[in-house]
Structure 1
């Protein structure tokens, strides 16, 4: 295969829960191969678990936004890819800038800190379930539960007024959409920065993360605003998608749901399996070699784009030996890459885990007869977003 004939990133899904079949074929026969990007550039696609971990842990492969290209058409990324990272936007930075900012945040997202926040998330969940119980089914689980749980929690963590949620949710949805224009995405980002900049300047709620960062004095107001935008948008989009899609998955796999109800001790492993099996960052992670690097017999030239497909890596039978395309809440899940790998591994992963471990069992305890209110094929999938999930999930009980 010549670079000129390289295929694009595959996007057609055989089911709502399975990645495109081409990814499995590539992983088996050519785990690193040429791929054509929407701008005509020919780069590389990585699909195996081993190569994914190797590249994501290698400092020769840059995460800097100056070099990034989206693997699928996404006009809204144009203002941010090919240009230096926005202030505080550490996912688009390499060391030492990435290290400097991340060090100010790591201690706020430890597993211990998340355990301390468990009572707060449980109160949020119970209040939302109370509201659902007073409603008349069918209800949209995304609007009633999956979206407000992480939105309330990230507001609680940052010190952002929840009354502002409609505005930041709307702007966040714009940023994650594959279909908005560059101008629309730029305007949404500007609005979010202005909102968080004001909170960073005033300190926000005194016990929130923004206030702590302002008091610390290490980051300037623009960097604090950028960190706030990143955490606010990613913190609720990814968890909301994971919660809604996980509920859809469990309702579609009644034998696994029954097992979870019978054995609450399986919840931690069930969450890890849902994260692995669904992998909501469905287009993978972009990297760019800063120098020529040989990988698995291929010479990757400096400046060539690489897309590390997390969904493909998380279904790799070389790592997940027992039927990796099967959803099994008793599976050995260690080593999954749903949160990435290396120094850019998702900062908020412990928060996501804590929210899902609390939310899913509580939902099914309160509504043991929860069921889809429409046929599964009528659930609108968010294939038009950079984070995969469902736009709506009508349920009844």
Structure 2
């Protein structure tokens, strides 16, 4: 049996594959990666929610790969970050970062986000064709997170390129090289911030680290994580949401008539086409049973929020976009449990502001190419477009 998660058709439309796998079993053993490697894939909603919160499924990848022969050469700031750790290390680091993206700080960011969105859209002319990914979905979140971290304007395109390279499926050499580029860069940025006091998010991390539980390497790794996670998934969120709306023109027209409905539609847009297809790696620290399937100790476990969000056992008519859907907030696009996305409030604010501006300025926006001609990123982790050509 071949790896069902690397078929070219899977990246174009993973939902047929998810339905087939879930129909066989909500948790099952599937071949992944190189010959002879298997993982347990979780595609059911109830099972995914349970797995996200199960302490027997560890995210400590360094511990999992310890002693195994490997040719990988990831920078420690990438391989040993908060996302790849368990309590108490995870609890300690998340405690430092948790207050940075709560409702209050995000609300204070909204005027800046609106300014960035307006600046990006001011150059768009009705009747012209633009790439929504290149013109808005990619630059908006990277501009915001780089501004927060104090990344100089001239470095932002370079940093964004390295971040994108971290998800180059099937190219471990490119991933490793990008990890060192971005890890070394952030090490230097942290050192510069230590020498020049300021009020950026990076300065706040340094201060809290110096006064609290973080060592200097953890400050760097947390900064790298915030930089990468702070824009990659939000880019996909915005682009996937716009694609869903232009492919459902009645929904687009409705939001154009009443943009105040956008905030309440975000959960359904996240559920419908999650920006994360399959969550980052976990493994079982002991034998367990999940969704009727026995998982042995030491097995790789992949949780698929993209599949869980289309589970008919949880969402009626899951393949239909319904902006009035009751219970859409039960989606798992941000994960669940102690590793739930820390930046969810910021992502929601950026998406809401971006969508409001788009539907207000360009209510008649339509696809510039057929859906089957769209190019999707070749990675099972991210569900995102390479480009989204639209006619304004």
Fold match by TM threshold 0.5:
yes
Do residues 330 (structure 1) and 324 (structure 2) align?
Answer: yes
For 1:51-200, list aligned pairs within 5 A.
51-66=47-62, 78-80=72-74, 86=78, 89-133=81-125, 137-180=128-171, 182-200=172-190
What value does the CA root-mean-square deviation take over the aligned residues?
2.6
The aligned counterpart of 1:268 is 263
Contact 1:87 1:222 in 2 (8 A): no
Q: Structure 1 pair 84/15, CA: closer, same or farther in 2 (3 Å)?
A: closer
Higher RCO (Cα < 8 Å, 6 or more apart): 2
Deviations 1:210-245 (A, max 9, x none): 111112213233222211211112211111122122
The aligned counterpart of 1:355 is 350
The aligned counterpart of 1:344 is 339
**What's the CA shift for 1:136?**
8.4
Q: Structure 1 pair 253/78, CA: closer, same or farther in 2 (3 Å)?
A: farther
**What's the CA shift for 1:197?**
1.1
**What's the CA shift for 1:384?**
4.4
**Distance across 1 between alignment mates of 2:389 and 2:24:** 40
**What's the CA shift for 1:325?**
1.0
Contact 2:2 2:31 in 1 (8 A): yes
**Distance across 2 between alignment mates of 1:296 and 1:146:** 37
**Distance across 2 between alignment mates of 1:165 and 1:213:** 20
**Distance across 2 between alignment mates of 1:10 and 1:32:** 18
**Distance across 1 between alignment mates of 2:71 and 2:267:** 30
Task: Return 5+ residue gaps in structure 1 as ranges.
Answer: 70-75
**Distance across 1 between alignment mates of 2:158 and 2:92:** 30
The aligned counterpart of 1:72 is none
**What's the CA shift for 1:267?**
0.8
The aligned counterpart of 2:39 is 43
Deviations 1:236-274 (A, max 9, x none): 111112212221221111011112122323212321111
**What's the CA shift for 1:355?**
0.4
Contact 2:77 2:221 in 1 (8 A): no
Do residues 289 (structure 1) and 279 (structure 2) align?
Answer: no
**Distance across 1 between alignment mates of 2:318 and 2:158:** 39
**Distance across 2 between alignment mates of 1:122 and 1:32:** 42
**What's the CA shift for 1:347?**
1.0
**Distance across 1 between alignment mates of 2:71 and 2:265:** 34
**Distance across 2 between alignment mates of 1:252 and 1:77:** 43
**Distance across 1 between alignment mates of 2:272 and 2:64:** 26
Task: Return 5+ residue gaps in structure 2 as ranges.
Answer: none
Q: Secondary structure at the match of 2:282?
A: strand
**What's the CA shift for 1:363?**
1.2
**What's the CA shift for 1:345?**
0.9
**Distance across 2 between alignment mates of 1:88 and 1:25:** 35
**What's the CA shift for 1:294?**
2.3
The aligned counterpart of 1:388 is 383
Q: Structure 1 pair 43/392, CA: closer, same or farther in 2 (3 Å)?
A: closer
Contact 1:13 1:21 in 2 (8 A): no
**What's the CA shift for 1:354?**
0.6
Q: TM-score, normalised by structure 2?
A: 0.89
Contact 1:64 1:85 in 2 (8 A): no
Deviations 1:74-94 (A, max 9, x none): xx99445xx987576111101
Q: TM-score, normalised by structure 1?
A: 0.88
Contact 1:85 1:92 in 2 (8 A): no
The aligned counterpart of 1:226 is 221
Deviations 1:275-309 (A, max 9, x none): 11111212334321111112234321110111111
Contact 1:88 1:227 in 2 (8 A): no
Deviations 1:78-127 (A, max 9, x none): 445xx987576111101111111111000001122211211110111111
Q: Structure 1 pair 170/103, CA: closer, same or farther in 2 (3 Å)?
A: same
